Amino acid sequence: MSVLLVTIILIIAFILLISIRQINEYERGILYTLGKFTKILNPGWRIILPIINSYDKVDIRTKTVDVPEQEAITKDNVSIKINAVLYYKIFDASKAVLAVEKFNYAVSQLAQTTMRNTVGSVSLDELLTEREKLSTRICEIVDKATDPWGIKVENVELKDISLPLEMQRVIAKVAEAEREKQAVITKAEGEVTASKNLAHAAEIMSQSPGALHLRTLATINDLSSDQSNTIIFAVPIETLRAIDGISQKGTENIAKIINKNDNNE
């Protein structure tokens, strides 16, 4: 009797020993009893009885899905190639196993389809200038579709947008034209500001006697420091008229003196 009891105890101990399974902290276990879902196993050592029980492990860490490059046509009929990266996390391990087969593959396929459809609903300009907004829209659509699978999509990032070579040249020309436009506007604004400043300076100089003359002398002094410069001095018309008036008076005085001398003789 004692031998039979010892044998039974050894068999039970052996069964318990081989039934121990370890669930890591970043995992959750799905326990089945006679093929039916029983419960979710938390981290630690768990007893999984042979034949009666079985289990699956699910990694609940954030996973990365590299969405392969997809060819799409934008709303304004421009053919592009686009790829993305998607981050998701399992919040219900039982749904991820029971509701969908190969959830990683399912999320990848759903992301590809959603990305093509979303790109087709926007124009090229919107795609290039509002990439963050487009990524958020794709994330919301995929997240809503994967909720029944127990999956939470955390983020979607568009990595690269490839345009045809012809379209790249057109965009470069548009950018160049925009830069030239901005340069012309900036130059015109500078001319307006300079003209206002010159008008204000002229007004101040006109109110101060001798200011224009001093400014002219200062300019000549600056130019004289470089011997290679040729100075062209502009004489105001008023000065010429004054000199002409003085010369006429001198001529008249000389004529009067000569006439006076002739009369005395």
According to the model, what pLDDT value does residue 75 have?
86
The class that CATH gives domain 63-168 is alpha beta
Q: What is the DSSP string of 139-208?
A: HHHHHHHHGGGTEEEEEEEEEEEE--HHHHHHHHHHHHHHHHHHHHHHHHHHHHHHHHHHHHHHHHHHHS
Measured CA distances, 155 to 62, 97, 115 (Å): 10, 22, 13
pLDDT of residue 105: 92
pLDDT at 257: 55
Residues 6 or more apart whose CB falls under 8 angstroms from that of 104 comprise 63, 65
pTM of the model: 0.63
How far apart CA 100 and CA 93 sit, in angstroms, is 11
Q: What is the C-alpha to C-alpha distance for residues 129 and 21, in angstroms, rounded to an integer?
A: 52
The confidence score (pLDDT) of residue 58 equals 92
> What is the C-alpha separation between 111 and 105, in angstroms, rounded?
10
Burial letters for 191-202: b for 16+ Cβ neighbours within 10 Å, e otherwise?
A: eeeeeeeeeeee
Rounded Cα distance between 32 and 98, Å, is: 11
Q: What is the mean pLDDT of each run of 10 residues along the chain (265 residues)?
A: 77 83 91 91 89 90 90 86 92 91 91 90 86 90 93 90 79 82 88 84 73 69 67 61 56 56 54
- Asked if residue 151 lies in contact with residue 90, where contact means CB atoms within 8 angstroms, the answer is yes
Most distant CA pair in the chain, distance = 182
pLDDT for res 201: 77
Domain ranges of the chain: 2-58, 63-168
Residue 255: its pLDDT value, please? 54
**pLDDT value for 256:** 59
Angle at 254 between CA 251 and CA 257, to 5 degrees: 150
